[in-house]
Amino acid sequence: MTMLEVEGTKASSFNEREFQITTVARMIEDGRSYWVTGGGTPIFAILLGQRRYAPNAQYITEDGVIAPEPMLPFEPIMTMVASRPSYRALAWGTMNTAGNHAQLGYMDYGILNGLQVDRYGNINSTLIGSGKEMRHFGGPGGADSIAANCWRIILMTDQEKRKFVERVDFISSAGFLDGTPNARERAGLPRGTGPWRVVTPWAMYDFDDERRMRLIAIAPYVTVEEVLAECEYPPQVAEQVETLAVPTEEELEVLRSQLDVQGQATGVRSGWVTLEGDKYVRQTGD
Amino acid sequence: MTMLEVEGTKASSFNEREFQITTVARMIEDGRSYWVTGGGTPIFAILLGQRRYAPNAQYITEDGVIAPEPMLPFEPIMTMVASRPSYRALAWGTMNTAGNHAQLGYMDYGILNGLQVDRYGNINSTLIGSGKEMRHFGGPGGADSIAANCWRIILMTDQEKRKFVERVDFISSAGFLDGTPNARERAGLPRGTGPWRVVTPWAMYDFDDERRMRLIAIAPYVTVEEVLAECEYPPQVAEQVETLAVPTEEELEVLRSQLDVQGQATGVRSGWVTLEGDKYVRQTGD
Amino acid sequence: MRILAEGTAPYLPVDPDGFREYVREHKSRALEPKLLSAQEAVARFVADGDYLVYDCNYLQRGPSILIREIIRQRKRDLWLCGKFTYVDVGLLIGAECATKVDCGFFYQGKAIDRAIDEGRLEIYEYSNVVMTLRLQAGAMGLPFLPVRSLGGTDGFSQSGAKLIEDPYTGQPITIVPALNPDVALIHVHQADQYGNARVFGTGIAHEESALASKKVIITAEEIIDTEEIRSDPGRTSIPYYAVDAVVHAPFGAYPGTCQGYYGSDTAHVIECFGAVSRDGVAQYAEKWISPFATDQEMLDKLVGEEKLSQLRANETITEGYRP
Amino acid sequence: MRILAEGTAPYLPVDPDGFREYVREHKSRALEPKLLSAQEAVARFVADGDYLVYDCNYLQRGPSILIREIIRQRKRDLWLCGKFTYVDVGLLIGAECATKVDCGFFYQGKAIDRAIDEGRLEIYEYSNVVMTLRLQAGAMGLPFLPVRSLGGTDGFSQSGAKLIEDPYTGQPITIVPALNPDVALIHVHQADQYGNARVFGTGIAHEESALASKKVIITAEEIIDTEEIRSDPGRTSIPYYAVDAVVHAPFGAYPGTCQGYYGSDTAHVIECFGAVSRDGVAQYAEKWISPFATDQEMLDKLVGEEKLSQLRANETITEGYRP
Measured between alpha carbons, how far apart are the two ends of chain C, in Å? Answer: 49
* Alpha carbon distance D65, D247 (integer Å): 10
pLDDT in tens, C174-192: 999 999 999 999 999 999 9
Distance (Å) from the alpha carbon of A39 to chain C's nearest alpha carbon: 22
Distance (Å) from the alpha carbon of C244 to chain A's nearest alpha carbon: 14
Q: What is residue D30's DSSP assignment?
A: S
Write the ipTM. Answer: 0.97
- Does B262 reach chain C within 8 Å, measured CB to CB? no
pLDDT in tens, D191-206: 999 999 999 999 999 9
| Mean pLDDT (chain D, rounded) | 97
* Alpha carbon distance B108, B162 (integer Å): 30
Contacts of C304 (CB under 8 A, 6+ apart): none
Q: Which helix (H) or strand (E) holds A12?
A: none
* Alpha carbon distance C234, D237 (integer Å): 11
Determine whether B79 is exposed, middle or buried from the number of CB atoms within 10 Å of its CB (0-12, 13-18, 19+): buried
The more confident residue out of C135 and A268 is C135
Contact assignment for A142 to D154 by CB distance below 8 Å: no
For residue A285, tell me if it sits in a domain: no
Q: The domain spanning residue D221 has which CATH number? A: 3.40.1080.10
Q: What is the mean pLDDT of residues D272-277?
A: 96
pLDDT in tens, C62-99: 999 999 999 999 999 999 999 999 999 999 999 999 99
Q: Are strands B109-113 and B33-36 parallel, antiparallel or unpaired?
A: parallel
Q: The domain spanning residue A175 has which CATH number? A: 3.40.1080.10
Q: What is the pLDDT of residue B261?
A: 86
Residue A268 banded pLDDT, cuts 50, 70, 90 = low
Q: What is the mean pLDDT of residues A48-70?
A: 97
Phi–psi pair at C64, nearest 5 degrees: -60, -35
**Domain total for chain C?**
1
Contact C246, C220 (CB under 8 A): yes
Q: What is the mean pLDDT of residues D46-70?
A: 98
Q: Which of B81, B99, B173 sits opposite C60 (nearest CB)?
A: B81
From chain B, pick out residues whose CB is under 8 angstroms from the CB of D244. Answer: none
- Does A83 reach chain D within 8 Å, measured CB to CB? yes
User: Is pLDDT above 90 for A286?
Assistant: no
Select from C146, C140, C145, C142 the least CA-distant residue to C211. C140
For residue B284, tell me if it sits in a domain: no
Q: What is the pLDDT of residue B131?
A: 81
* Alpha carbon distance D267, D250 (integer Å): 20
Q: Which of D116, D125, D132 sits opposite A126 (nearest CB)?
A: D125
From chain D, pick out residues whose CB is under 8 angstroms from the CB of B149. Answer: 141
* Alpha carbon distance A119, A208 (integer Å): 11
User: Is pLDDT above 90 for A267?
Assistant: no
Q: What is the mean pLDDT of residues A54-81?
A: 95
Measured between alpha carbons, how far apart are the two ends of chain D, in Å? Answer: 49
Contact A196, A125 (CB under 8 A): no
Select from C132, C20, C28 the least CA-distant residue to C82. C132
User: Is pLDDT above 50 for A117?
Assistant: yes
Q: Are strands D162-165 and D172-177 parallel, antiparallel or unpaired?
A: antiparallel
Range of the domain at D296: 3-321
Select from A60, A70, D129, A195 the least CA-distant residue to C29. A60
For residue B280, tell me if it sits in a domain: no
Contact assignment for A90 to C23 by CB distance below 8 Å: no
User: Is pLDDT above 80 for C1?
Assistant: no
Residue A285 banded pLDDT, cuts 50, 70, 90 = low
From chain B, pick out residues whose CB is under 8 angstroms from the CB of D242. Answer: 106
pLDDT in tens, D212-261: 999 999 999 999 999 999 999 999 999 999 999 999 999 999 999 999 99
User: Is pLDDT above 90 for A228?
Assistant: yes
pLDDT in tens, C240-262: 999 999 999 999 999 999 999 99
Select from C285, C214, C219 the least CA-distant residue to C49. C214
Contact A177, A171 (CB under 8 A): yes
Q: Which residue of C19, C20, C188 is the best one to mutate when testing the A interface, meaning the one whose CB has the most A CBs within 10 A?
A: C20
Q: Which of D153, D207, D263 sits opposite A172 (nearest CB)?
A: D153
Q: Which of A73-82, A159-168, D142-151, D168-177 has the lowest mean pLDDT?
A: A73-82
Determine whether A209 is exposed, middle or buried from the number of CB atoms within 10 Å of its CB (0-12, 13-18, 19+): exposed
Name residue D151's amino acid: G
Distance (Å) from the alpha carbon of C139 to chain A's nearest alpha carbon: 7
pLDDT in tens, A145-204: 999 999 999 999 999 999 999 999 999 999 999 999 999 999 999 999 999 999 999 999
Q: What is the pLDDT of residue C304?
A: 97
Q: What is residue B131's DSSP assignment?
A: G
Contact assignment for C127 to B76 by CB distance below 8 Å: no
| Mean pLDDT (chain B, rounded) | 94
Mapping DSSP to helix (H, G, I), strand (E, B) and coil, where does residue B23 land?
Answer: helix
pLDDT in tens, C260-318: 999 999 999 999 999 999 999 999 999 999 999 999 999 999 999 999 999 999 999 99
Beta-strand runs (E) in chain D? 3-6, 51-54, 78-82, 98-103, 122-125, 144-147, 162-165, 172-177, 183-191, 197-198, 215-223, 245-248
Q: What is the mean pLDDT of residues B101-116?
A: 97
Contact assignment for D169 to C319 by CB distance below 8 Å: no
pLDDT in tens, B221-231: 999 999 999 99
Q: What is the mean pLDDT of residues B74-92?
A: 94
Q: Which residue of D has its CA nearest to A185?
A: D172
Q: How far is CA C238 from the centre of its chain?
A: 14
User: Is pLDDT above 80 for A75?
Assistant: yes
Q: What is residue D262's DSSP assignment?
A: B
Q: What is the pLDDT of residue B268?
A: 65
Q: What is the pLDDT of residue C248?
A: 98
Q: Which of A96, A103, A136 sits opposite D116 (nearest CB)?
A: A136
Distance (Å) from the alpha carbon of C225 to chain A's nearest alpha carbon: 11
pLDDT in tens, B134-193: 888 889 999 999 999 999 999 999 999 999 999 999 999 999 999 999 999 999 999 999
For residue A283, tell me if it sits in a domain: no
- Does A72 reach chain D within 8 Å, measured CB to CB? no
Range of the domain at A128: 2-267
**Domain total for chain A?**
1
Longest dimension (CA), chain A: 53
The answer to whether C and D touch (≥3 CB pairs < 8 Å) is yes
Contact assignment for A31 to C241 by CB distance below 8 Å: no
* Alpha carbon distance C48, C97 (integer Å): 8
Q: Which of A31, A90, A151 sits opposite C236 (nearest CB)?
A: A90
Q: What is the pLDDT of residue B177?
A: 98
pLDDT in tens, B197-219: 999 999 999 999 999 999 999 99
* Alpha carbon distance C261, C314 (integer Å): 9
* Alpha carbon distance A94, C207 (integer Å): 14
Residue B286 banded pLDDT, cuts 50, 70, 90 = very low
If you compute the radius of gyration of chain D from its CA atoms, what whole number of angstroms results?
20
Contact assignment for A95 to D205 by CB distance below 8 Å: yes
- Does A254 reach chain D within 8 Å, measured CB to CB? no
pLDDT in tens, A4-47: 999 999 999 999 999 999 999 999 999 999 999 877 899 999 99
- Helix pair C281-288, C266-277: axis angle to 10 deg: 140
Q: What is the pLDDT of residue A261?
A: 86
Q: What is the mean pLDDT of residues D303-311?
A: 98
Q: What is the mean pLDDT of residues D290-309?
A: 97
Q: What is the mean pLDDT of residues C141-160?
A: 97
Contact assignment for B183 to C152 by CB distance below 8 Å: yes
Distance (Å) from the alpha carbon of C190 to chain A's nearest alpha carbon: 13
Across-strand partners of C82?
C103
Contact B272, B283 (CB under 8 A): yes
Q: What is the mean pLDDT of residues D50-55?
A: 98
